[in-house]
Amino acid sequence: MMSFGHILFLSILLFEYGNSGDILRSGDRWVSVKGGTLVSSKGTFEAGFFRAAGTESWFLGIWYKNVAERTYVWVGNREEPLHSSNGTLEVVDDQLVIRDNSKPVWFATRRRESSSSSTTTAVAQLLENGNLVLKDVNNDNPEDFFWQSFDEPTDTILPEMKLLWNYQNRYLTSWRAFDDPRPGNFFFGFKTPQYPVLAIWYNDFLLYRSGPWNGYKFIGAPPLFRLEWKNQHILYLSINTTTTSPDYTRVQLDNDGSVRHYTWNQRAKKWDQQWSLSPDQCELHRTCYGNAYCRVGSSSPACECIPGFEFSSMNVTTKECVQKKNWTCNGDDHFSLVRKMNIPDSRNAKSNPQNNGLGDCTCTAYSMSISLETDNWSCITWSGDLLDLRSYSDEGLDLYVRTAGKKKSKTGLIVGTCVCILVVLALLALFCYWRRKKTREIERERATTAASSIEIMMPRERENLIEADQLSAPMDFAMIVNATDNFSQEIGHGGFGYVYKGVLASGEEIAVKKLSQLSKQGLDEFRTEVRSISRLRHLNIVRLYGWSVYKEEKLLIYEYLVNGSLERHLFGGGELNWETRFHIIKGVAQGLAYIEEGGYDLILHRDLKPDNILLDRYMTPKISDFGLARMCARSEKEVFTQHTAGTHGYVSPESLLHGIFSSASDVFSFGVIVLEIVNGKRNRSFSSSIGYLLGYAWNKYNEGNWSEIIDEKIRQDCVESWQVLRCIEVGLLCSQYFARDRPKISLVVAQLQQETIEIQKPKRPAFYPIDHEGKSGIPSSSNFKGESSTSTSCTVNGYTFSEIDAR
C-alpha cells in the first residue's frame, strides 16, 4: 500500500506539472517546460512551452488546441529561448515572468496607465480569442488589462487582434525559418505618414507597397483588412471578419516574405490558403525609375513615362523618364489625368487643402486620397520626381500630372480628329482593295480547306487554345505570307524549324517562327507555347502577337527584336560591357520572377539558356521559347508527362537524374546563365582542371580570388564593383546541388537591386566532380527524395534526358 508521503508527493507533482486551466495565479508554477498548459475556456487555444525542431531551445507559445496540425499564433520569448528543462511561467508582483533555472529571462510588465490601486491581484488568463492577458482577477474590462499578447504580435493576426500605428509602428515579424521561431528578416505593417498603406520589408529594404486606403479597402489588395481611425496619431489594422470564415482563420507573414490568409478545413484536416499578398512585378518597390509607371496586363512595355515625360536618349539602359518641355508656370501649364493609379511614394508629399497645384510651381502632381490628418478625402500634392508608380486594371485613383504647354481648343481638336479619321479611312480602303486583288487566289483556296485542316491538326484542342480572352488570337495565314514576302528573309533556324522577318501592314516588324514538319516541337509544344506565353505581359517576356495553323503549317508570330539572342553576343564575339551585362542579369531575374510568381498558374520554363534570351534595341532581355514550358496550378503538386526537356549544361541535377521539375529547376538554369554572363564562356565547354564553369567559379570564390572568374574583356573596368561579386554569389547560390538550398527568385531580384541585403554563403554547386572526401560529386537518389517539398513541383514520369541544341 502506498504511504501518505508518496500520495502527498504525487499530488504536488500533479499540481505543479499536470494542471490545466485558463488562469495562472501568483505562486503557480505548473506551466513549465516539463508539462502543464493554459487552455482557453472553450478549448480553442492552448498556451505553454514548445521546443524548436532539432534544437534544445524552448519557447512560450500559443497554438490551436483542436487542430491536428500544430499551428502557433504567438511566441513570447523569441529572442531569449530557454536552454534547460527547468523553465517555468509564473505571475510575480503583477508581472508575467519566464524563469530559466529560477533566473528571469522574459517579462510581461504591467502598463503604467492601467495601475489604479495597489490592492489588485494580478492573474494571467488565456482568453477564447487567443489573447494571453495579465489582468486583475476581478476585472474583465479589456481597457484595464495590465498587459496582453495582442499588443506584442509575432507573425500572425487573429480576428480580434489589432495592429497599432501611433508613430511607433507595431509590425508582424516572420519566423527565421519554418521551424525556427526566432525573429526573421521580413516585416509587415503600415507605412505612413501622409496616408496609410500596407507594406512588406526585407530588413530595411521596402519590397512591397499597396495602394492607399479608399474608405473600404487598400487599393491593390483584397478587402480582407479593416482600418480603424481613432485619431490622426493612432490607427488600428485588423481582419475584416465580415469577409472571412466564422471558423478558425488567421493571417500570417510566412518566412518567405508572403502574407497569406488561411482558414481551417475541418473535413480535409488542413489549412486552406484563401489569399496571398505576394508582390507581382509592378508591386515590387521601385520597379520603374522616377516619373515612370509600371503597367501589368497590357500589351505596352511594363514601364511607361507619365504625360509630359519621355525616355531619356542619354541612358537607354536604365530608361529614365525626363521632361519633354520645361514648365513655364505662367498659366500655360495644365494637369493631365492618368486614371487607375497607385499614387507616388509619400516622402515628398504634402496636404494641400486649397487644391491650388497650378499656383505652386514646385507641384509635379496631385491626387485625392484619405489623409492621415483628417480621416477624410484630401488633396495631396507631390514635388520633384514621382517615385514608385504603378497602374491597375480595375481600381486605383486619379492622378493629375503637370504638363507644359497650352491646351488645344476643343474646336481644333474635333476638326483635326475628323480629318485624320477621313485620311485613315481612305488609306484603309485603298489598302483593302490592293490586298484583296493580290491575295484572291490564296483566299479562295484557304476558304475551302482551312477549317478542315485546323480540325484535323488540332481535334478538340483548338477551342482550348483560344477559349480565354487573354490568349493571343489566331492570325490570317495569307496576311503572314504577305508580311514575310512569302518567307523570303530568314533570320534564324534550329531544330524547331526557321524564323523569318516580316513587316505588317501597320509598319510593325515581326518575327515569324515556322515550325518544321520534322521538328521536335510538335502539336502539344505548339499549343503549350501559345497558352503559356499569351498569358504573360511583362517587359522581360517576349511578346506573342498571335498564331496561325494552315494545313500542315504551324506559325508563331512574335515581336521582332533587333539585337537577336544573348548567346550571339556572349559567345559569338560580341562586346558587352559590365553595365549592359548587369542590366541583362536583372532583367532575366525579373522576367523569371514574373512567370513563376506573378500569375494565377505556376509556369515552369524548363529550357532557360542564353539562346532563349532575346535582346531589344536597348539591350533589354526578353525570355522566349516556351515550347517546353509546363503550367501547374499552385494547388497542384504533381503533373505527369513523358516529354523530355532541357539543354545540357543548364538542367538541374534533380531534373536530369530523377525527372523532378520545380521553380527551383529554373532558378538553377538562371544561376548557370549568370555565371556565364560574368565569365563570358559556356558552362559545359569550359576548359579547366576542375571541369565545368560551376566548379571553377566555386573554387575561385572560396579561395578569395573571385575576380579571376570575370571575363578578361571587362575585368579591369568592373573589378571594384559590388555588383560583380553579388552576381557571382547569386549564380553560385542558384546553382547549388539541392533545390531546397536555392533561393526564391523574388529574393534574388531584391539581392540584385540592393547591396545592403544580407546574402548567404553558397554551398558546393551541382556536378562538382570531386568533393572534400574524394567522392563523386553526383548526389544519390536518396539525397533528392522530397526535394520539391518547399515549392509546387511538376514530376515527370519515366523521364529520359536528351540534349536539345540550336533552339
Per the annotation, binding residues for ATP are 514
Burial 695-732 (b: 16+ CB within 10 A, else e): bbbbbbbeeeebeebbbeebeeebeebebbbbbbbbbb
29 to each of 9, 23, 34, 38, 463, how far by Cα in Å?
A: 15, 12, 11, 12, 69
Burial class (CB within 10 angstroms; exposed 0-12, middle 13-18, buried 19+) of 441: exposed
Nearest residue to 81 via CA among 108, 102, 106, 64: 106
**Can you tell me the distance from the alpha carbon of 511 to that of 516, in angstroms, rounded to the nearest whole number?**
16
Q: Residue 249 forms beta bridges with which residues?
A: 263
Q: Does 607 participate in catalysis according to the annotation?
A: yes
Give the CA count within 13 Å in the CB-facing half-sphere of 35.
Answer: 8
**DSSP class per residue in 525-543:** HHHHHHHHHHT---TTBPP
Alpha carbons 366 and 513: distance in angstroms, whole number: 46
Q: Which residues are annotated as a binding site?
A: 514
Residues in the chain: 807
Instruction: Please report how the helices 663-679 and 578-597 are oriented relative to each other, as an axis angle in degrees rounded to 10.
Output: 180
Write out the three cell numbers for 166: 501611433
- 494 neighbors 807 (Cβ within 8 angstroms): yes
User: Helix (H, G, I), strand (E, B), or coil: what is residue 380?
Assistant: strand
Which cell numbers hold the place of 546? 498571335
Helix ranges restricted to H, 549-640: 566-571, 578-597
Using DSSP, state whether 106 is helix, strand or coil: strand
- Tell me the CA distances in angstroms from 3 to 18, 52, 734, one per residue in order: 21, 40, 67
Q: In one letter, which amino acid is 732? A: L
Strand bridging mode 349-351 / 621-623: unpaired
Among the listed residues 607, 611, 625, 666, the single catalytic one is 607
Q: Would you name the residues annotated as active-site residues?
A: 607
